[in-house]
A and B are shown apart, each in its own frame.
Chain A
Amino acid sequence: MDLKVVSQSGGCASSGCGSSADRLSHLPEAIRAKVNNHPCFSEDAHHHYARMHVAVAPACNIQCHYCNRKYDCSNESRPGVVSELLTPDQAVKKVLAVAANIPQMTVLGIAGPGDPLANPERTLETFRQLSEKAPDIRLCVSTNGLALPAVAEELSKHNIEHVTITINCVDPDVGAKIYPWIFWNNRRVKGRKAAEILIEQQQKGLEMLVERGVLVKVNSVLIPGVNDEHLKEVSRVVKAKGAFLHNVMPLIAEEEHGTFYGLMGQRGPTNEELQTLQDACAGDMAMMRHCRQCRADAVGMLGEDRGHEFTLDKIETMEIDYAAAMARRAEIHAEIEANRAAQRQQTGEAFVSLSSLKRSVRPKVEPRSVLMAVATTGQGVINQHFGHAREFLVYEASVNEVRFIGARKVDLYCAGGDTCGDAETTLQKIIRTLEGCEVVLCSKIGYEPWSQLEEAGITPNGEHAMEPIEEAVAAVYREMVEAGQLDQAKAEPQRLTA
């Protein structure tokens, strides 16, 4: 199967183009139906639908240098971390409880905290029960790929339509710097040989899934100085084999996480390095940029975690009538779809106006593009108070399009840099997180952050509350162009004193 995927950065001449919702419009109907309400496979869907992970799979069969296998922690938010391990029966109960209470939850993923296919029984038993009891929930699984060829056939039988494989390399010499060992055929295999086997199994697993019509997302961890340049090759290879989406994520490596990379002082990429690489890979296939690198037991919209509402002791007391819940869920999903259709139409009109802008400014120098940060809690609109935002969505506006660049978390982990110190206030951290952005769109904002943002060269804007994000970004961009603010290079913001 060869999926034609249009790159996000590709040129676009016609009007009504450039919206993330429309980027799926070229896909065959059957594929679109599979991703339309999957928050991890569709950027537009992630504004409207939620996901959850159940931590039923603790064991792992490889070691990655960015992973600490001591996964039990309630305060960290990153892949591989969970608070309680569940049996398949407990997991099923939790899924039904979440589905009834968060009707916009459409996807159940099993992502660890180990490798869900290392000992596949617990993972498959959870899927077996759920496909029977909750047929309206999509099932998906993430894996390092080592055991994938052995279970690919069985996964496709269990109605698993989405699989994510973490592929960090296709070259064993690169792999040897990321994976110190694997457990293979009842022995520990180390070094280059280990990476060679892992890569072979990952690629074979990818091919087997694509042959069976499963949509495959490839996750790659960007590790500066290790696989940064190499990921372009990874993107080419997996695309050629039929992967649907490539998600390049920044390495998270802090000493306190206790990972090998964290302890050894391996740095993660800067926002700019990440974006540059994502753009370079985008020439080859569709890129995912809205990943929040969530925990293996996350619950809720991407970027939020409501797991604490559904701990084992709490779900024990919940009585769930799933037939009634399913009817209610169908109603809510219909409402969401009606809302999305209306937004698409509005945003489409905004893009028509953007392209007329392009025609009107043609004689002059083309205005430069602008990065804008958005505070939102979901539904695809600007609806969050600046002070409540724990993350910002960053969009790039140009005369050609408005495109989503990525999400930046505010306080969950530090991006590093030598200006980082204990005396730094939360607001200063936010301002550093928003580096490169010239506008921040939110529903409301207080006086103090307003003036500090302005000093840092970022214009706060609360005039577009409750408007669809891309439409508002296009409107602000239009104002900036018309005011002549974009005719020359960006003004240097005043230097921050830490």
Chain B
Amino acid sequence: MAFKIVEGCVNCWACEPLCPSQAIFEAKPHFLVDAKKCTECEGDYADAQCASVCPIEGVILDGLGVPVNPPGSLTGIPPERLAAARAEIQAR
């Protein structure tokens, strides 16, 4: 099984140096994971490193194709609370 970087990646470089298997490489239009090298960090770390440092929701998929960081998981604001949070912030 291997992780995958998909469209939306902003090429911020955060994941590349962390990968214990050197499976992540710079590419156009965005970084990619070498599926042959990726171990999903098994045996090295409790959490997959690329998905734990990635700042963009939805751009890293696990071996099943499911986003590791779904909408709202990184901003801390679940989609259903977005409108209320926006109103709160705009009142500042």
Q: Decide if A and B are genuine partners.
A: yes
Interface residues, chain A, CB within 8 Å of chain B?
58-61, 63, 69-72, 85, 114, 118-119, 180-181, 183, 186-188, 190-191, 224-226, 260-261, 264-267
Selected contact of A60 from candidates B12, B75, B76, CB within 8 Å: B12
- Contact: B47 with A261, CB < 8 Å? no
Question: Which 7 A-B pairs rank lowest in CB-CB distance, beginning with the nearest?
Answer: A225-B92, A58-B13, A70-B10, A69-B12, A265-B90, A188-B52, A180-B76
Known contacts A119-B17, A225-B92: does B76 contact A191 (CB below 8 Å)? yes
In the complex, per-residue mask of B39-64: 1 if CB is within 8 Å of any chain A CB, else 0 = 00000011101001101100000000
- Contact: B76 with A190, CB < 8 Å? yes
25 contacts between A and B (CB under 8 A): A58-B12, A58-B14, A60-B14, A63-B55, A70-B12, A71-B12, A85-B13, A114-B12, A114-B14, A118-B14, A119-B17, A181-B74, A183-B14, A186-B47, A186-B49, A187-B47, A187-B52, A188-B52, A224-B92, A225-B91, A225-B92, A261-B89, A266-B90, A266-B92, A267-B90
Say yes or no: is B35 at the interface (Cβ < 8 Å to chain A): no
Known contacts A183-B53, A187-B52: does B12 contact A264 (CB below 8 Å)? no
Known contacts A226-B92, A264-B86: does B47 contact A69 (CB below 8 Å)? no
Please indicate the chain B residues that have their CB under 8 angstroms from the CB of A265 in the complex.
86, 89-90
| A189 closest partner in B (C-beta) | B52
Interface residues, chain B, CB within 8 Å of chain A?
10-14, 16-18, 45-47, 49, 52-53, 55-56, 74-76, 85-86, 89-92
Q: Report the separation of the CA atoms of residues A224 and B14 in the bound assembly, to the nearest whole angstrom.
A: 29
Chain A min CB distance to B3 (Å): 15
Given A59-B17, A224-B92, 4 other A-B residues pairs in contact with their CB atoms under 8 A: A59-B12, A180-B76, A266-B89, A267-B90
Q: Report the separation of the CA atoms of residues A104 and B45 in the bound assembly, to the nearest whole angstrom.
A: 48
Please indicate the chain A residues that have their CB under 8 angstroms from the CB of B86 in the complex.
264-265
Please indicate the chain A residues that have their CB under 8 angstroms from the CB of B49 in the complex.
186
- Contact: A114 with B13, CB < 8 Å? yes
- Residue pairs across A and B with CB atoms within 8 Å: the count is 72
Please indicate the chain B residues that have their CB under 8 angstroms from the CB of A58 in the complex.
12-14
Please indicate the chain B residues that have their CB under 8 angstroms from the CB of A225 in the complex.
91-92
Known contacts A180-B75, A224-B92: does B16 contact A60 (CB below 8 Å)? no
Please indicate the chain A residues that have their CB under 8 angstroms from the CB of B12 in the complex.
58-60, 69-71, 114
Interface centre among B11, B14, B45 (most CB of A within 10 A): B14
Chain B min CB distance to A497 (Å): 27
Chain B min CB distance to A110 (Å): 15
Please indicate the chain B residues that have their CB under 8 angstroms from the CB of A114 in the complex.
12-14
Selected contact of B53 from candidates A180, A188, A226, CB within 8 Å: A188
Please indicate the chain A residues that have their CB under 8 angstroms from the CB of B18 in the complex.
186
Q: Report the separation of the CA atoms of residues A183 and B89 in the bound assembly, to the nearest whole angstrom.
A: 25
- Contact: A264 with B76, CB < 8 Å? no
| A63 closest partner in B (C-beta) | B55
Q: Report the separation of the CA atoms of residues A57 and B64 in the bound assembly, to the nearest whole angstrom.
A: 33
Please indicate the chain A residues that have their CB under 8 angstroms from the CB of B55 in the complex.
60, 63, 69
Chain A min CB distance to B67 (Å): 14
- Contact: A183 with B52, CB < 8 Å? yes
Known contacts A59-B14, A72-B11, A114-B13: does B47 contact A188 (CB below 8 Å)? yes
Q: Report the separation of the CA atoms of residues A407 and B17 in the bound assembly, to the nearest whole angstrom.
A: 38
Q: Report the separation of the CA atoms of residues A266 and B86 in the bound assembly, to the nearest whole angstrom.
A: 8
Please indicate the chain A residues that have their CB under 8 angstroms from the CB of B11 in the complex.
70, 72
Q: Report the separation of the CA atoms of residues A264 and B90 in the bound assembly, to the nearest whole angstrom.
A: 7
Q: Report the separation of the CA atoms of residues A261 and B18 in the bound assembly, to the nearest whole angstrom.
A: 28
Chain B min CB distance to A341 (Å): 46
Known contacts A58-B13, A59-B13, A186-B49: does B76 contact A267 (CB below 8 Å)? no
Selected contact of B74 from candidates A71, A119, A180, A224, CB within 8 Å: A180
Q: Report the separation of the CA atoms of residues A61 and B14 in the bound assembly, to the nearest whole angstrom.
A: 7
Q: Report the separation of the CA atoms of residues A180 and B75 in the bound assembly, to the nearest whole angstrom.
A: 6
Q: Report the separation of the CA atoms of residues A58 and B75 in the bound assembly, to the nearest whole angstrom.
A: 21
- Contact: A63 with B17, CB < 8 Å? no
Chain A min CB distance to B82 (Å): 9
Q: Report the separation of the CA atoms of residues A267 and B16 in the bound assembly, to the nearest whole angstrom.
A: 34
Please indicate the chain A residues that have their CB under 8 angstroms from the CB of B13 in the complex.
58-59, 85, 114
Please indicate the chain B residues that have their CB under 8 angstroms from the CB of A59 in the complex.
12-14, 16-17, 53
Interface centre among B16, B46, B53, B74 (most CB of A within 10 A): B53
| B26 closest partner in A (C-beta) | A85
Q: Report the separation of the CA atoms of residues A59 and B19 in the bound assembly, to the nearest whole angstrom.
A: 13
- Contact: B56 with A187, CB < 8 Å? no
- Contact: A186 with B52, CB < 8 Å? yes
- Contact: A260 with B47, CB < 8 Å? no
| A264 closest partner in B (C-beta) | B89
Chain B min CB distance to A273 (Å): 12
Q: Report the separation of the CA atoms of residues A94 and B85 in the bound assembly, to the nearest whole angstrom.
A: 44
Please indicate the chain A residues that have their CB under 8 angstroms from the CB of B76 in the complex.
180-181, 190-191
Please indicate the chain B residues that have their CB under 8 angstroms from the CB of A261 in the complex.
89
Interface centre among B55, B85, B90 (most CB of A within 10 A): B55
Q: Report the separation of the CA atoms of residues A70 and B14 in the bound assembly, to the nearest whole angstrom.
A: 11
